[in-house]
Chains A and B, each alone.
Chain A
Amino acid sequence: MKTNYDIKLGVSLYSYQDNYYFHRHDLEGCIAAAAGAGAEGIEVFSDAMIPEWPYVSDAWIDKWNGWMQRYDVEPVCLDHFSDRMMWHDKQLTDEEMFERGVMYIKLARRLGCKAIRVLHEEHIGPKAFVCKLTDYDIIARLLPIAAENDVMLALEVHTSDGVGAPYQQKYIELAEKTGIPYVGLQQDFSTFSYCLSTADIVTQVAESGANKEVLMAAREEQRKAYFGKYDFDEAATAALIEKLNPSDADRLALHSILPSLKMPAGFVERRPFHGASRKAADYEKLYKDLYDNASKLVYCHGKFYDIDENGQVDDMDYPTIFKTLIDGGYKGYIASEFEGNRRMNMAGWCDEIEYVRKHHKLMRSLLGRE
């Protein structure tokens, strides 16, 4: 359903990946599900859901356009990946990465998408990967191609320090410096996750036999700290958990938020949850940066893993995120990106379609539309 709102709502078809994987819904079914949730924009889960990938025929594009008309939705974004390691014996060169970037831009144009979601080098932080992804120099080379094709390079920011970090801001400066406004930042809401998601707890309970009550107790301490606007006391929480006689599975499940908890023998260090070390002041800065950059953002991923009994996203403060975006002057799409499926499907079927419907209902209410 098309609207004239400044902030429009869409769905990344990534949200329906299990429906697609298990052949419950084909691509048209996923588009219909998005439209049914109330979306007006569709983000295409590129290689996974375009059957002719990467050599897409005009006949398939015609079919795609037909679906857009039939369900009264519009194509918004095509997902770009930085597959530098797609060959077993050599990494793609920068030239080859550039060529693949061009391929995504041209396909986005053919699909009618006004943006590609770019997995840029710093999308989860500087030097977070073993191989270099699509870095600043490649983005700079892609910029004129993006302008020629009228396709925005939307650089997805998942990092714990958000869109205000200097290593993200350099891309906004690139657009300003070159006078080619075809690169910008895309905020993924996972940046604002403040506690262990219940989706992760479902997984841990199903996979490792962890005790739900123990995990929920630790999560509750994180929530209290966030909403009480005080610093999460990791050591005190670890001590509290010790009193609950945690099993080895509980300890392993909580390591990402309680690094000081004693781990079982043979444990290998893992990456901490980014909210574990964040202070109350860090959240203030994150929201300030979001406000300051809102009018410059080119796209948003409404990431979510689970929705609680009150219809709220269980580990992100959507009311504050939305208010900040509105007050900051954001204009553009917010696309639902449900990722709880990948976390909860060990425990059984996860109803992605219903989750996205609930998510859209929440987003509409936060935008004052119902």
Chain B
Amino acid sequence: MRSRPIIEPESLYNLYANGNKVGFKFQVHQNRYRNVPLSCIEKITLKVDGKEIPSNMIHFCLGYKKLLPHEVADDYTDYWAFQDTVTIEVDQLGGLEYGEHEIDLYMLGKSAYISRPFYVTDVVNQPHTYPTGNIGEKATLWVMA
């Protein structure tokens, strides 16, 4: 584990279209030591200020790709590079109010090769689903614009 925050500080911005706030975005680091195949990311959930964001409003953006959470695991060819960030975009008319917001992001990821039942003790005996690479944390971020 690295002491670095998974959610990039000062990366929270509102999204604008035609002068209106239509959502917000922030950047996320992965916490593995290798590239993560996108297909290994099996679940993404997000709460902002304690409120669950519906899955169909969340977008996982990597390069030119903009994927819904359930589409990420169905991407069989791309990797989340070790040192790169992905951008999480959220559709939300009106965006976020200026000020601090609590971001609670959870990604359930599994290792592509080294999954061992003893590695994550709370899910022993569930081969193929144990989350050796949970990517997520809570962070309080200030809306930058």
Residues in chain A within 8 A of chain B (CB atoms): 14, 17-18, 20-23, 47-49, 51, 53, 81-89, 91, 119, 128-131, 133, 207, 268-271, 342, 345-348
* Closest chain B residue to A26, Cβ basis: B83
Q: CB within 8 Å of A: which of B1-16?
A: 1-4
8 additional A-B pairs beyond A48-B35, A88-B74, beta carbons within 8 Å, are A48-B82, A81-B113, A84-B112, A88-B73, A129-B113, A130-B115, A270-B118, A346-B2
* Interchain CA distance A342-B31 in the complex, whole Å: 11
Contact: B122 with A268, CB < 8 Å? yes
Which residues of chain B are within 8 angstroms of A87 by Cβ–Cβ distance? 37, 39, 76
Chain B neighbourhood of A23, CB < 8 A? 83
B residues 79-118 touching A (CB-CB < 8 Å):
79, 81-83, 110-118
Q: Is the CB of B2 within 8 A of A130?
A: no
Of the A-B pairs whose beta carbons lie under 8 Å apart in the complex, a sample of 25, sorted by A's number, is A14-B33, A20-B82, A47-B34, A48-B35, A83-B37, A85-B128, A86-B40, A87-B39, A88-B40, A88-B74, A89-B73, A128-B116, A129-B113, A130-B115, A130-B117, A130-B127, A131-B127, A207-B1, A268-B124, A269-B121, A270-B121, A342-B33, A345-B2, A346-B1, A346-B3
What residues of chain A lie closer than 8 Å to B124, measured between beta carbons? 268
Question: In the complex the two chains form, is A129's CB within 8 Å of B116's CB?
Answer: yes
Contact B3 A345 (CB under 8 A): yes
**B37 and A348 within 8 A (CB):** no
Q: Decide: A20 and B83 in contact? CB cutoff 8 A.
A: yes
Determine the residue in chain A with the shortest Cβ distance to B72: A88
A270 cross-chain contacts in B, Cβ below 8 A? 118, 121
Report the bound CA distance from A119 to B73 in whole Å: 24
Which residues from A are CB-within-8-Å of B117?
130
Residues of A within 8 A of B39 (CB): 86-88
Cβ of B35: which chain A residues have Cβ within 8 Å of it?
Answer: 47-48, 53
Task: Contact check, B113 vs A133: say whether CB atoms are below 8 A apart.
Answer: yes
Q: How many residue pairs between the two chains, A and B, have CB atoms under 8 Å in the bound complex?
A: 93
Give the number of residues in B that approach A within 8 Å (Cβ atoms).
32
Q: In whole Å, how far is B6's beta carbon from the nearest beta carbon of chain A?
A: 12
CA distance in complex: A85, B83 (Å): 22
Assuming the contacts A88-B42, A88-B73, asked whether A21 and B2 have C-beta atoms less than 8 A apart, the reply is yes
Say how far A91's CB is from chain B's closest CB, in angstroms.
Answer: 8
Which among B3, B33, B42, B112 is the interface contact of A17 at CB below 8 angstroms? B33
Residues of B near A268 (CB, < 8 A) are: 121-122, 124
The residue in chain A whose Cβ has the minimal distance to the Cβ of B37 is A86
Question: Considering the complex, which residues of chain B in the window 38-79 have a beta carbon less than 8 Å from any beta carbon of chain A?
Answer: 39-40, 42, 73-74, 76, 79
Q: How far is the CB of B67 from chain A (nearest CB, A)?
A: 13
Q: How far is the CA of A84 from the CA of B74 in the complex (A)?
A: 16
Chain A CB within 10 A, most for which of B37, B112, B117: B112
Report chain A residues within 8 Å CB of B121: 268-270
Do most interface residues of chain B lie in helix, strand or loop, or is the interface mixed?
A: loop
Chain A residue with Cβ nearest B30: A21
Cα separation A14 to B33 with both chains bound (whole Å): 9
| A48, B33: Cβ atoms closer than 8 Å | yes
Enumerate chain B residues within 8 angstroms of A18, measured Cβ to Cβ.
2
Contacts A49-B82, A270-B118; A85 near B76 (Cβ below 8 A): no
**Closest residue of A by beta carbon distance from B35:** A47
Nearest CB of A to B37, in Å:
4
Contacts of A345 in B (CB 8 A): 1-3
Residue of A nearest to B117 (CB): A130
Cα–Cα, bound, A123→B92 (Å):
49
Return B80 CB to nearest CB of chain A, in Å: 11
Selected from B3, B115, B128, the residue in CB contact (under 8 A) with A348 is B3
In the bound complex, what is the Cα–Cα distance between A88 and B41 (angstroms)? 8
B128 touches A130 (CB 8 A): yes
CB < 8 Å: which of B2, B73, B113 contacts A85? B113
A245 to B117, CA, bound (A): 31
The residues of B that contact A207 with a CB separation of less than 8 Å are 1
Out of A14, A131, A346, A348, which one reaches B113, CB within 8 Å? A131
Cα–Cα distance between A133 and B5 once the two chains are bound (Å) = 32
Q: Cα distance A47–B115 when bound, in Å?
A: 18
| B79 contact set on A, CB distance < 8 A | 47, 53
- Docked pose: A347 CA to B3 CA in angstroms: 7
Nearest A residue to B4, CB-CB: A22
Contact of A86 with B112 in the complex, beta carbons under 8 Å: yes
What residues on B are CB-neighbors of A271 within 8 Å? 116, 118
- Contacting pair A130 B82 (CB below 8 A): no
B83 interface neighbour in A14, A21, A128, Cβ under 8 Å:
A21
The answer to whether B128 touches A81 (Cβ under 8 A) is: no
Known: A17-B33, A130-B128, A345-B1. A85 touches B118 (CB 8 A): no
Using CB atoms, name the residue of chain B closest to A268: B121
